Structure 1
Amino acid sequence: MTFYYSNQLKIGLKVIYHSEPYIIISSKFTKPGKGQEFFRVKLKNLVNKKILDKTCKPNDSFLLADIKEVICSYVFNDGYYWIFMNKKNFEQISVKKSIIKGMSNWLLEEYDYIITFWNDEPISIIIASNFIEIKVIETTPVIKASSISVANKLAKLSTGITLKVPMFIQVGQMIKVDTRSGKYIAKVR
């Protein structure tokens, strides 16, 4: 078991706090004119993504979290579990629907995903790339008399998500989407 004192905490370090895994997102040393010095630490829970602000004394210690990140590719889902393949050893990894949450809109076989494990259980998943190329399978028809101020229409993508795209996007075309915001970026040529 490895412990870190408050003065050793660095951004990106993964620690256990109140029996849950956290990542340090900021750590600031403060020495007031009177009183003891302290650290203001901002932690992000790796399971529920909540942010926690904590004031620590220099001798407060944190246990290093047993966190592993694995690069995987999406294979399929059966409605309850999403199955991924570890790119290093080709083992299959089952991830519960509750962990996938909003990621199901961006799961495509040709992209890499990073699955975070804590105590050998998957706790989160993110797409390794911020942008994906995805096929448009349905769009709303363009109305010729529509105002120039209406420059977007709705398009349904191959994963089932619907988003706003420019009027010139047609069914069957590939578009580039920002997975962080869920917004159209460009038409793929």
Structure 2
Amino acid sequence: MELCHSNQLKIGLKIIYNNEPCIVVSNEFIKPGKGQAFFRVRLKNLLNKKLIDKTCKYSDCFKIANVIEITATYMFTDKKVWTFMDKKSFEQIFVEKNIIKNVLPWLLEQHDYIISLWNDQPISIVYSSNFIELIVVNTIPNARSGAINTYSKLALLNTGVTIKVPIFIQIGQIIKVDTRTSEYISKIS
């Protein structure tokens, strides 16, 4: 396994810290007036998403994590495990609910997702794009609810998620949604 020193920790590098994969969020060199120089490193644990602040000496070494990202197509679920197919090797990848829960509102068959693997096990999954096009399956008609400044209403989308949309959106229309914030972006048709 490859090693790197504290001064080689670049933003985005994936390392092993406390036997878990982490990504470097920031690395700041500190040279105090008195004493030895050091690095203030902020890591994000890839398994539990917690932030870790660590002070390191120049001589501290870290193992580089073998975390790879693959693009896979969602195929089906059997209620306990979600099955994806790697787009390059055509191998099936099985993802459990605790890993997939953040992307469940945007899960559509035959759509692509990016899966992070550590030791050949899925540790995270994200939609391959920041935006997704979904169909409005239910919403209230174009009527103001009596409030003076009502410019939005709730709409149920074909994945089962409910978001706020402008009052002109109707049932059956396709809209673009930001998968990071769950916000309406635009009307497609």
Tell me, yes or no, if the aligned pair for 2:151 and 2:167 is still in contact at 8 Å: yes
Structure-2 residue corresponding to 1:154: 154
Structure-1 residue corresponding to 2:54: 54
Q: Distance in 2 between matches of 1:73 and 1:181?
A: 22
State the 1:142 CA deviation. Answer: 3.4
The amino acid across from 1:16 in the alignment is I
Q: Distance in 2 between matches of 1:135 and 1:95?
A: 26
Unaligned runs of 5+ in 2: none
TM-score (norm. length: structure 2): 0.96
State the 1:107 CA deviation. Answer: 1.0
Structure-2 residue corresponding to 1:37: 37
Structure-1 residue corresponding to 2:121: 121
Tell me, yes or no, if the aligned pair for 2:141 and 2:170 is still in contact at 8 Å: no
Q: Distance in 2 between matches of 1:113 and 1:163?
A: 21
State the 1:92 CA deviation. Answer: 1.3
Tell me, yes or no, if the aligned pair for 2:27 and 2:40 is still in contact at 8 Å: yes
Runs of 4 or more consecutive aligned structure 1 residues displaced over 4 Å after TM superposition = none
The amino acid across from 1:136 in the alignment is V
The amino acid across from 2:84 in the alignment is F
Structure-1 residue corresponding to 2:177: 177
The amino acid across from 2:188 in the alignment is V
Q: Distance in 2 between matches of 1:13 and 1:24?
A: 5
Structure-2 residue corresponding to 1:102: 102
Is 1:91 aligned to 2:95, yes or no? no
Q: Distance in 2 between matches of 1:171 and 1:13?
A: 45
Unaligned runs of 5+ in 1: none
* Count of aligned residue pairs for this structure pair: 189
Secondary structure at the aligned position of 1:16 is classed as strand
Structure-2 residue corresponding to 1:138: 138
The amino acid across from 1:21 in the alignment is P
Q: Distance in 2 between matches of 1:144 and 1:56?
A: 58
The amino acid across from 1:50 in the alignment is K
Q: Distance in 2 between matches of 1:31 and 1:144?
A: 61
Secondary structure at the aligned position of 2:34 is classed as coil
Secondary structure at the aligned position of 1:70 is classed as strand
State the 1:90 CA deviation. Answer: 1.3
Q: Distance in 2 between matches of 1:141 and 1:166?
A: 11
TM-score (norm. length: structure 1): 0.96
In the TM superposition, what whole-angstrom CA distance separates every residue of 1:121-179 from its partner, at most 9, and x where no partner exists?
Answer: 10100111000000011112333563441111111000000111111111110000000
Q: Distance in 2 between matches of 1:184 and 1:144?
A: 19
Residue 145 and residue 153 in structure 1: after superposition, are their counterparts in 2 closer, same or farther (change >3 A)?
Answer: closer
Secondary structure at the aligned position of 2:101 is classed as helix
Tell me, yes or no, if the aligned pair for 2:23 and 2:44 is still in contact at 8 Å: yes
The amino acid across from 2:4 in the alignment is Y
